[in-house]
Chain A
Amino acid sequence: EVQLIESGGRLVQPGGSLRLSCAASGFTFSSHWMHWVRQVPGKGLVWVSRINSDGRTTAYADSVKGRFTISRDNAKNMLSLQMNSLRAEDTAVYYCVRDGGHRGDYWGQGTLVTVSS
C-alpha cells in the first residue's frame, strides 16, 4: 500500500524557517518524481515544487522561488521541503504528492504550516 506521511508543520513566526518531511512507503520511491502542493484551508490547490526521481532537477512556483528548497533522500525514502523567510501567505496545508506519470496519483494527508506572530 502506498503511503505518504508528512510531518514538520507547526506555528512559526514570519521570517522564520521550517523543514517539512514526507516519509514514503509501499512503492519504489526512487522511480518517481515528487511534488509539494499547498492549500489554504477552505481555498484551492496550489502547486509549490517538484523534484525528479534522482533529485537533480527541481522546479518551483514563483511565489516560493529563492525561499523554498525541495530535496529527497532515495536511500531513506524521504522527501523534504526546506522553507525559509516564511510569510503569512505561506500559511497552508502542505501535501506531499507522488507523480504517477504526469498526474498526482497519491497524496499524503497533509501537514499544517501556520505563519503568524
Chain B
Amino acid sequence: DIVMTQSPDSLAVSLGERATINCKSRQSILYTSNNKSYLAWYQQKPRQPPKLLIYWASTRESGVPDRFSASGSGTDFTLTISSLQAEDVAVYYCQQYYTTPLTFGGGTRLEIK
C-alpha cells in the first residue's frame, strides 16, 4: 500500500496569513505516460463530508477560491492557503489515486491563531 504522510498534524495560523500543509507519499504517484501526479486534496469542516479542493496535485476544482493552491510531483506535495480566512478552519486530507487501495494522509487540523 502507498502510505501517505501529512505534516503537521495540526496548525494554527493568524487570519490573513499563509498556511502550508505537506503531504509525502512513500512511493512516486506520478504517471510518466501523462506526467500527472495522482494526488487530491480535500477539506472537511465539522459535521460535513469532505470537499474536493485540488486534483492532479495542482488543479483547482471549479468554485474553489484562488487563495487555495497546491504544488508538487512524484512524492512530495504541498497545499497552500495564501491568506487564511475564518471559513478555512477545517481538517485537510491528501489522497493518492495512483493505485488501489486508495490511501489518505492522516489529516491536518487547521485552526485560527
- Compute the total of residue contacts between A and B using a CB distance below 8 Å: 58
A-B complex: 4 closest residue pairs judged by Cβ atoms = A103-B55, A107-B49, A47-B102, A59-B100
Residue of A35, A45, A103, A105 near B93 (CB, 8 A) is A45
In this complex, the member of B40, B101, B106 whose beta carbon has the largest number of chain A beta carbons within 10 angstroms is: B101
Closest chain-A Cβ to B92's Cβ sits at a distance in Å of 11
Q: Say whether B97 faces chain A, with CB atoms less than 8 Å apart.
A: yes
Nearest residue, chain B, Cβ from A103 = B55
CA distance A2 to B102 in the complex (A): 23
Majority secondary structure, B binding face? loop
> Looking at chain A's contact residues, is the secondary structure mostly helix, strand, loop, or mixed?
strand
26 A-B pairs with CB atoms under 8 Å apart are A35-B102, A44-B104, A44-B105, A44-B106, A45-B50, A45-B93, A45-B95, A45-B104, A47-B95, A47-B104, A50-B100, A95-B50, A101-B55, A102-B40, A102-B55, A103-B40, A103-B61, A103-B97, A104-B42, A104-B52, A105-B55, A105-B61, A107-B50, A107-B51, A109-B49, A110-B49
